Amino acid sequence: MRMKRPPVKTHRTAFTLIELLIVIAIIAILAALLLPALAKAKQKGQQAVCLSNLKQIGLSFGIYLNDNNDHFFDERPLKSSLPGGYHPWTAWPPSDPRAGWAASTFQNVCPNFDVWSCPAAVNSATGNAIESAQLTSTLTNAPVCRYWAWRFDRIDDLTAATMLEDFWTKSETQAIADLQSANDPTVGPIYGPADVELAVDPYYPNTPTGATTVDPALKGRTIHGGGRCRVFLDGHVQYIRDIRTPLQ
């Protein structure tokens, strides 16, 4: 007769409180190490999208020039009539580089209004400041443009001395020549189309040179902390560091 063996008792073990705390501490350390890397990767991704947006904006300028005998447009009336009007602030910048007029002008060749806002700008205070954001039409639900275009930042009479650096109605050759003759130290040396900035992320220097009245809430800030993305007249795009804008 086979004898029955007594059942083997199994002992279930559980984590002690100390072991749980150690595991939690390890997870917290790993998270602390990973989160900055993830945040940096997100910023790089947004920067890449921004450069892609600006590339399309540059192409829109190029298509327009090709279709109009190499001459720029005159959208000063539209620049004045967009919601808020021209230069609706008292702080720096002294002119109005917002480019809502361009998004409206180029909608036939660039119908995707999303390209007129960097993804990092959409949810940032800097990108939504009155000096940065502009509706692209008089509709209350119109898409918003969050890029600047310094070469189209004034609405003065075309013969005014202040318009030497603006490109309204000029040929590409004349625009470059006028910009060179202005000899503006804030622009830098201009040797050709590759040196002429067409559109750029909004930026607010933290130094007094050329920007003595920057809103304190914006001072030192840009869409991509530490620099900004640009598209140039020859169509190339570039992220350029700027120590005057360390904040995002």
Q: Give CA–CA dist 206/200, Å, rounded.
A: 18
Closest CA to 106 of 151, 63, 155: 63
> Mean of the pLDDT values across residues 194-213?
87
Residue extents of the structural domains in the chain: 19-241
> Mean of the pLDDT values across residues 242-247?
91
What pTM value is reported for the model? Answer: 0.84
Dump pLDDT digits (tens) for 31-61.
Answer: 777 777 666 777 788 899 999 999 999 999 9
Residue 27, Cβ neighbours under 10 Å: how many? 10
Closest CA to 224 of 90, 105, 124, 94: 124
* Three-class DSSP category at 126: coil
**Residue 8: what pLDDT?**
58
pLDDT reading at 1 higher than 60:
no
Confidence of residue 10 (pLDDT cuts 50, 70, 90): low
Confidence of residue 5 (pLDDT cuts 50, 70, 90): low
pLDDT reading at 9 higher than 70:
no
Mean pLDDT, all residues of the chain: 90
Closest CA to 238 of 40, 50, 44: 50
Q: Give CA–CA dist 99/116, Å, rounded.
A: 9
